[in-house]
Amino acid sequence: MEKQKIWFITGASKGLGLSLVKQLLKAGAKVAATSRNTADLIKAVDFTGDAFLPLQADLASDSSVAAAIEQTHQTFGGIDVVVNNAGYGIGGSLEELTDKEVKDSFDINVFGTINVIRHALPILRAQSSGHIINISSIAGIAPATGWSVYGAAKHAVIGLSEVLADDVKALGIKVTVVAPGAFRTNFLNADSLVLSKNKINAYADIRASHERYTKMSGQQAGDPEKAVEAMIGITEMTEPPLYLLLGSDAYARAFSKLELLANTYHQWEDLTKSTDY
C-alpha cells in the first residue's frame, strides 16, 4: 500500500470481513472493526497492537454506529476507507417469512449500511477524500429462487451506492459496490444464515433451492483471500470501479441477467412506448 490507510470495517469477526482485517493489519494499515461481540472479534483477529481497534456496535442503532465512528476518528484521527461488510443471508418465501425476520434482515443488510455512511460522511467530507465500499451480492443483481428478501436487501445496497457515488463525487469521495458470488467462508453455515422457521409444503422449489446452497458450504469456488486482495487493490486506484463483481460465478450470473433484461425490454418495446403522449 502507498500509505498507511485508516479502515473502518463492519461485520469483521468472520467471513470476508475477518480476512480483510487480517490482511490489512499484516500490511501495516490501521483498522477499526465492528462486531456484535468484541470478545469473539478479538479472538478471531488475534492481533496485539495499537493499529487494531475492536468495536462493539449494533448496526441497527444509529447512536451505536455514531459512537463507533466517533471512537475511530478520535483514536486514529481520520478514516480513509469504510467497508460496509456486515450482512447475512435470509431464505424463504415472502409468505413464510415473518415481519420480524424481514425487518431484522433489512436492519443489518440495508439500514446498518446507511447508518455507517451517514456518520462517516462528515469525516470524509472534511478530509475531501475517502472511499466507501459497500458489500452487496450477486443476489442483488440476479437473485435466486427462495431468496427474495435477501435479493431485495442487496439490490437496495446497489441502488443506494449508485446514487451515493454521484452525490459525493464532487467532494473527493469514491464509492464502490461489490457483488461477490459464492466464496469459501462460513456464509452458508447455520450460524450465518436465517431460513424461515415457518415451512409451507407448497414451496417445494424453495426447499430444494435452500438445500442446493447449504450443501455448497465449504466447496464454493471463490477464494476469500483473493477477494480481499482485490478489494484492497481498488483502494489504491485513482479511478476505482463503481461496480466490482467478484468470482467467475458472479460474472456469469450478472451477464445472464443483462441478457434477460435486454431481451425483455426489446420484447415489450412497443407497449412501453405506447404510453407516451
Domain CATH code at residue 200: 3.40.50.720
Rounded mean pLDDT of 83-112? 95
Smallest Cα–Cα separation from 83: which of 24, 134, 36? 134
Asked about 154 being catalytic, the answer comes back as yes
Q: Give the angle 43-49-53 at the CA atoms, nearest 5°.
A: 65
Residue 113 falls inside a structural domain: yes
Residue 260 placed within a domain? no
Judge whether residue 190 has pLDDT over 70.
Answer: no
Q: What is the pLDDT of residue 192?
A: 65
**How many Cβ atoms are within 10 Å of 99's Cβ, its own excluded?**
7
Q: Which domain holds residue 137?
A: 6-249
> Is the model's pLDDT at 129 over the cut of 80?
yes
Q: Is pLDDT at 3 greater than 90 in this prediction? A: no
In a domain, 275, yes or no: no
Q: Calculate mean pLDDT across residues 33-40.
A: 93
What is the structure's pLDDT at 67?
A: 97
CA–CA gap between residue 27 and residue 147 (Å, rounded): 37
End-to-end alpha carbon distance in the chain:
56
Asked whether the predicted pLDDT for residue 30 surpasses 80, the reply is yes
What value does the CA radius of gyration of the chain take, rounded to a whole number of Å?
19
Taking residues 129-154, what's their average pLDDT? Answer: 96
Q: Is the pLDDT at 273 greater than 80, yes or no?
A: yes
Largest CA distance in the chain: 67
> In this predicted structure, which of 56-65, 184-193, 200-209, 225-234 has the lowest mean pLDDT?
184-193
The Cα 232–Cα 84 span in angstroms is: 14
Q: Residue 272 contacts by C-beta under 8 Å, 6 or more apart in sequence?
A: 265
Instruction: Quote the percentage of the chain above a pLDDT of 90.
Output: 81
Between 30-34, 135-139, 207-211, 214-218, the lowest mean confidence (pLDDT) is in 214-218
pLDDT score recorded for residue 183? 77
Is 271 within a domain? Answer: no
Does residue 85 lie within any of the structural domains?
yes
224 assigned to some structural domain: yes
- Report the pLDDT value the prediction gives residue 1, as an integer from 0 to 100: 42
Backbone angles phi, psi at 45, to 5 degrees: -75, -40
Mind listing the pLDDT tens digit for each residue in 217-230? 666 778 889 999 99
Q: What is the pLDDT of residue 100?
A: 96
150 catalytic? Reply is yes
pLDDT score at 8: 98
DSSP 186: S
Q: Which of 35, 136, 137, 148 is catalytic?
A: 136
- Among 49-63, 111-125, 198-212, the range scoring the smallest mean pLDDT is 198-212
Q: Is residue 258 part of a domain?
A: no
Highest mean pLDDT among 170-179, 191-200, 212-221: 170-179
Which of 133, 119, 128, 112 lies closest to 243, judged by CA? 133
User: What is the identity of the amino acid at 195?
Assistant: L
For 4-28, the pLDDT digits (tens) are 899 999 999 888 999 999 999 999 9
Asked, for residue 266, whether it belongs to a domain, the answer is no
* pLDDT-based confidence at residue 188 (cuts at 50, 70, 90): low
Q: Which band of pLDDT confidence, cut at 50, 70 and 90, is reported for residue 186? A: low
pLDDT tens string 145-181? 999 999 999 999 999 999 999 999 999 999 999 999 9
Active-site residue among 22, 30, 154, 174? 154
**What's the domain count of the chain?**
1
